[in-house]
Amino acid sequence: MLEIKDSLIKDAGLGVFATEDINEGTVLTEYYGKIFTLEAYLECTLDLSETKALLFWDGFYTLGNINEYDSKKCGQMINDYSMIENLEYTNAAFDNAVSLYEENSFAHSNVSILTRFSKHYIQSTKRINRGEELYFHYGLAYWIEFSGLSRQTDYINHIYNNLMFANNLRTSVLNFKKEKQSA
């Protein structure tokens, strides 16, 4: 159903492609790697070298190995179609870069994350044609954190902290709903 080959995105390395037409809502592959809770993640220092990818979703971190070439475990190799680049550190330039990123990333995203039994899986959010590359919206917090921007200006730091607060709040609400359903 999937294959790994050179991404269509310049300088992105490898990407994940559909080898057949895929219907919306299809579970495609696992985002494979070591799973951490938020508490465990905060207590350790992770190596985010060129061979790793980090995902935070539904209260769990997954440290994925991008050298895993099994099509059933290749979710960590899916690229974001867009990124924040050529950023000038003025508030207006940052806001413009964010708007462009969000618009392009959401427009091309064709998969999302599904969590089952504390593992992350990739699910199609629309029909994907044979030969099409899979794209996932990484989110603004990812690009701020891993570009090193989060500590460069008070303005960006403020936005980053608000994003992390919103993400933690979302996780708390989901956990509360899960606890309430199981009670």
Q: Which residue has the higher pLDDT, 165 or 76?
A: 76
Check residues 94 and 3 and name the one with the higher pLDDT: 3
pTM of the model: 0.74
- With beta carbons less than 8 A apart as the criterion, state whether 55 and 74 touch: no
38, two tokens: 């938020």
If you average pLDDT over residues 145-163, what whole number do you get?
A: 55
In the predicted structure, residue 148 carries a pLDDT above the cut 70: no
| Maximum mean pLDDT: which of 16-30, 59-73, 85-99, 134-148 | 16-30
Q: Please say whether the beta carbons of 16 and 78 come within 8 A.
A: yes
Q: What is the pLDDT of residues 33-75, one digit of tens each?
A: 877 776 776 676 655 554 467 777 766 677 787 777 788 889 8
Between 23 and 33, the higher pLDDT residue? 23
Position 134 confidence tier, pLDDT thresholds 50, 70, 90: very high
Question: At residue 161, does pLDDT exceed 80?
Answer: no
Q: Tokens 């030969």 — which residue? A: 131
pLDDT band at 140 (very low <50, low <70, confident <90, very high): confident
Query: What is the per-residue pLDDT across 82-105, written as a single tens digit (0 to 9) for each?
Result: 887 655 556 677 777 778 888 899
Exposed, middle or buried: residue 27 (CB in 10 Å: 0-12, 13-18, 19+)? exposed
CATH assignment of the domain containing 109:
2.170.270.10
- pLDDT greater than 80 at residue 13: yes
As for how many domains the chain has, the answer is: 1
Residue 90 is part of which domain span?
Answer: 2-182
Identify each DSSP E strand in the chain by its residue range: 2-6, 14-18, 27-31, 33-37, 52-57, 60-65, 111-116, 119-124
Average pLDDT, the chain: 77
What integer pLDDT is reported at residue 47 of this predicted model?
Answer: 57
Q: How many residues does the chain have?
A: 183
